[in-house]
Amino acid sequence: MRFITHFLFSVLGFFLFLQIAEFVHCSLESYFPVNSLLVVAFFLFLGTILPDIDTTSSRLGKKTPFFLKPLRLLIKHRGFFHSVLAGLLLAYLIAFLAPIKYSLVFLLAYFLHILLDGFTPKGVKAFWPLPFRFKGRIRTGKLEESFLCLVFLVSDLILLFIFIGH
């Protein structure tokens, strides 16, 4: 999937998480006030982009090909970095650098990236090193992905106005 689809899905996941927490009377607005949305967006961005660190066609891969070349020789795309294990390890490392709440935001975006890629024909090995691969039928860059992207954008805008309106 394209970066924008992944990012809009991560934003949607975050806003839905906030709405569910409020529904069960666990207000998270004190943890994620409106003025912290830029920091939240940064960690959503990070969680969205890092699973594709192992490919030259990704945003990150295009910016740092010199660093990723040896990595790509060792790790196949949609292998280790598209796994729950990689997400947990990276979130653990981020927890040393940032408050735990942002590490969890990163982890949410990371897992949503893996979930979304699981709906493509290539699929993902979410429980790497186990060989089982989750696959779907949504083709990257085609009409069905564009439709999903539009649905995510509209949903994000609606939930943003709900969140800010409180």
- Least reliable range by pLDDT among 2-6, 72-76, 105-109, 138-142: 72-76
Closest Cα to residue 126, out of 138, 137, 136, 115?
115
What DSSP string describes the chain? --HHHHHHHHHHHHHHHHHHHHHTT---TTTS-GGGHHHHHHHHHHHHHGGGTT-TTSHHHHH-HHHHHHHHHHS-TTSGGGSHHHHHHHHHHHHHHS-HHHHHHHHHHHHHHHHHHTTSSS-B-TTTTS---B---PPTTSHHHHHHHHHHHHHHHHHHHHHHH-
Q: Say if residues 121 and 136 touch (Cβ distance below 8 Å).
A: yes
More confident position, 154 or 60: 154
The reported pLDDT for the residue numbered 69 is 66
| Whole-number pLDDT of residue 67 | 62
Rounded to two decimals, the pTM is 0.88
Indicate the domain borders of the chain.
Answer: 3-165
Tell me the mean pLDDT in the region 66-83. 71
pLDDT digits 0-9 by tens, 31-57: 666 667 889 999 999 999 999 887 767
Structure tokens belonging to residue 103: 């590490």
pLDDT, tens digit (0-9, with 9 covering 90-100), for 75-128: 666 778 899 999 999 999 999 999 899 999 999 999 999 999 999 999 998 998
Tens of pLDDT, residue by residue over 4-15, are 999 999 999 998
What does the pLDDT read at residue 97?
95
